[in-house]
Amino acid sequence: MPAAPKGVPSRPENRSAPQLQLIPAPADGALDAAEEAVDMLLESGRAPGDILVLTTGEQHPWAAHELSFGEAAYWAQQDAGDDVFFADGSAVDRAKPRPVVVVAVNGDAGGTVARALPVARDRADALLIVCGDPQTINSALGAGV
């Protein structure tokens, strides 16, 4: 297991890996698939603060809106942990662990997918849901996902 970035706790060696769920979707449909996954999680009783959503391409509109108020206020919402938190895959190192991490593989500029997915797996305590092209996802997480 690669070391976690400085200041970010890594998964203890004795903790099991999260369950992985793959939702096949084209890049331009990955964000919609991720939103549907979040809706299903919330409808099934999962607390909003349990969910982290990462995008590997264009930011989720919520993240873009919240960032317009400044980075400090935006990241403070993550720290509060009382709502679904949306972040860009390029900022995955700043994302704190949550029980469920949903990743929308909606682009791959600069190899974001290969860098973000293993870290996202480390941030997911119980469940990692990845929405996107299965071939791209398998390349980032290892064959047979």
Q: Tell me the pLDDT of the chain averaged across its residues.
A: 88
- Token pair recorded at residue 46: 């999962």
| CA atoms within a 13 Å half-sphere pointing along the CA-CB vector of 77 | 18
pLDDT digits (tens, 9 = 90+) for 98-135: 999 999 999 988 889 999 999 999 999 999 999 999 99
Q: Counting beta carbons within 10 angstroms of the beta carbon of residue 132, is it exposed (0 to 12), middle (13 to 18) or buried (19 or more)?
A: buried
Contact by Cβ (8 Å): 128, 18: yes
User: Cα separation of 66 and 71, whole Å?
Assistant: 8
Q: Domain map of the chain by residue range?
A: 17-139
User: Cα separation of 29 and 12, whole Å?
Assistant: 34
Proportion of the chain above pLDDT 90, given as a percent: 77
Region 88-95 average pLDDT: 91
Contact by Cβ (8 Å): 50, 129: no
Instruction: Report, at the CATH architecture level, how domain 17-139 is classified.
Output: 3-Layer(aba) Sandwich (3.40)
The helices-and-strands tally (H runs, E runs) of the chain is: 5, 5
- Cα radius of gyration (the chain): 14
